[in-house]
Structure 1
Amino acid sequence: MIDLVHLRSFIAIAQVGSFTLASQKLGLRQSTVSQHLQRLEATFGHRLLDRDTHGVQLTANGEALLPYAKQMLLLERQTSALFADEQPRGTLRLGISEDLVSGQLPALLQDFIADYPTVELNLTVSLSRDLTDMQDKGELDLVFAKRRLGDRRGEPILREPLVWLAADPEAVMARPILPLIVFPPPSLTRTLLMEALERAGRPWRIVCSCQSLSGLTAAARAGMGVLVQPRSLAPSGLREFPPSVLPAMEDVEFILVASASADRNTVAAFTRLIRDRVGVGLSRPMEALRHV
């Protein structure tokens, strides 16, 4: 008989590529996660993962099992939701920082819609400051955005270092004035990178400004200049500058903030997905959620 707990550990390892990070994600001991995998492999009679010095890789059998394992856990969540005392309902007006649009957001939304098909999701993607203003006006129920270290709004889900990125860092460093690719004001990332350059006395100029991360990424991939992003959210096709080449920037924290008027069950359901998918394998996962 297939144990869903064992499947959950298998999926976590596959997602993060590490027994250590998988155990942190699941809130279990690493030895427990290892035992789950061993028992799952014994159930199927096949090796599902290979370990080497570079990390953990799925075997061919592991690759074949993964989509079925995910579907089984999805069915489990949906079945449990049928008998929940208080179901998420209504409309969730969700605001998400532009930095988070790529990466795991599509899978996160897919899971939420599958688990709670009766909830209408109203999604707004913008800069963190703009999302804060919209929430203060009563236009958003839940915001997932950035804040500066020391700010008090919300509670942090994770803390991330900002890094300098370019298609060809060596070519960019050969230029006498650093070319910047940035969000428009009131971008927090823009503020922090400019403060770091001012402290270092490094000359710079803006060569591209765009509200959309996809637009900024395209400019960076084209070799126009330097883009700054949280390390775990760095777009593909860009390389991080070596340490000490450019000044270090202040870390940022990603936070969840729920409005007092929002449906608590709906907010809690989406928050669980965010913690599960986003707060893993990043710099410093944290507990979160404060109503404002």
Structure 2
Amino acid sequence: MDTSYDPAQLRTFLAVAQTLSFTQAARRLGIRQSTVSQHVRRLEEAAGRQLFARDTHRVDLTEDGEAMLGFARTILRAHERAAAFFAGTRLRGRLRFGASEDFVLTRLPEILESFRRDHPEVELELTVELSGTLHRQLEAGRLDLVLAKRRTGDTHGELVWQDALDWIGAPQLRIDPERPVPLIVFPPPGITRARALEVLEEHGRAWRIACTSTSLSALVAAARAGLGVMVHSRGLIPPGLVPVPARAGLPEPGGVDFVLLHGDRRGAAQEAADALAAAILAGGDRLHRGGGG
């Protein structure tokens, strides 16, 4: 059987796989939700397999859908490299990219390595900071592209994926309900810090700061040592840490969005930023599917 896969349908598939939402995928791609459904249906027909298990409340990848992720990324990358080669275009210039601390333990370096291999004449400058700090640097014109958190419900930025927040800590940690909750947090303006303090104060739970650092690695080390608990993205839980059991009585911290935000520079910087953004969106599932390894 001679089967071909349409790049437009593959891009739609990736958008749905990363957001687990037909509505969010349509918003990201700037197309109608009916078009998203049509692309997914036609791709499933071409593959002869169901790629998503879906009902009125939830969308999940099937086992075949998980397999399609790798193939889709490979096909789209080859398609884009061929298009660039025959168009005779090579990206150049300086690209100032900011990534939040959340990604230091993920596979983002693989995406950046692939981007540098495909675009060797782009001078990539990486800044790793807290999400709130990156937002401010972007607004000040010191960055061209940012990958960071935003609060669920905010609308700025291009959604990469949504995730729930969890309280996490060492497996042996026990929280005494009669004592202040020991917190491991980023300093202000950390988004997870703000969320942790908000929900504890809303529910009348006392708290104390057990550890603060701008380094995720330092916070993870403190949590592994049993110094306290931290609020963290469910899809990015580092090895050696686990969600705090519900019996601890900690209030639900809610959710968080991970987004791409573009700066105001034009010309070569914008073209390079667009190319890196496309690479991150194409490989975004790798950032949180087993990304804590």
Same-fold status (TM-score > 0.5): yes
Which residue is equivalent to 1:102?
A: 105
Of 246, 266, 272, the match for 2:278: 272
Cα drift, residue 246 of structure 1: 1.0
CA distance in 2, matches of 1:250, 1:35: 35
Which residue is equivalent to 1:286?
A: none
**Residues 66, 56 of structure 1: CA spacing in aligned structure 2 closer, same or farther, 3 A cutoff?**
closer
CA distance in 2, matches of 1:265, 1:55: 32
**Residues 132, 70 of structure 1: CA spacing in aligned structure 2 closer, same or farther, 3 A cutoff?**
closer
Q: C-alpha offsets along residues 240-276 of structure 1, whole Å, 9 cap, x if unaligned?
A: 4338821122433333221211433222211212222
Cα drift, residue 127 of structure 1: 0.7
Give the aligned residue type for 1:249.
Answer: P
Between 27-36 and 202-211, report the one with greater CA deviation.
27-36
Could you say what secondary structure the match of 1:171 adopts?
coil
Using the aligned pairs only, state the percent identity: 34
CA distance in 2, matches of 1:273, 1:246: 37
CA distance in 1, matches of 2:92, 2:47: 36
Which residue is equivalent to 1:289?
A: none
Contact in 2 for aligned 1:179/1:207 (Cα 8 Å): yes
Cα drift, residue 116 of structure 1: 1.8
Contact in 2 for aligned 1:74/1:115 (Cα 8 Å): no
CA distance in 2, matches of 1:33, 1:150: 26
Which residue is equivalent to 1:288?
A: none
Of 259, 262, 266, the match for 2:263: 259
1:214 and 2:217 correspond: yes
Give the aligned residue type for 2:283.
Answer: R
Which residue is equivalent to 2:56?
A: none
Contact in 2 for aligned 1:98/1:212 (Cα 8 Å): yes
**Residues 138, 29 of structure 1: CA spacing in aligned structure 2 closer, same or farther, 3 A cutoff?**
closer
Of 122, 126, 137, the match for 2:125: 122
CA distance in 2, matches of 1:191, 1:135: 20
Which residue is equivalent to 1:83?
A: 86
Q: C-alpha offsets along residues 117-161 of structure 1, whole Å, 9 cap, x if unaligned?
A: 221110000012221232233221111222234556x32413333
* Structure 1 residue ranges without an equivalent (≥5): 42-48, 283-292
Cα drift, residue 163 of structure 1: 1.3
Which residue is equivalent to 1:183?
A: 186
* Structure 2 residue ranges without an equivalent (≥5): 54-59, 289-293
User: How many residue pairs were aligned?
Assistant: 273
Cα RMSD over matched residues?
Answer: 4.5
CA distance in 1, matches of 2:271, 2:247: 44
CA distance in 2, matches of 1:137, 1:122: 17
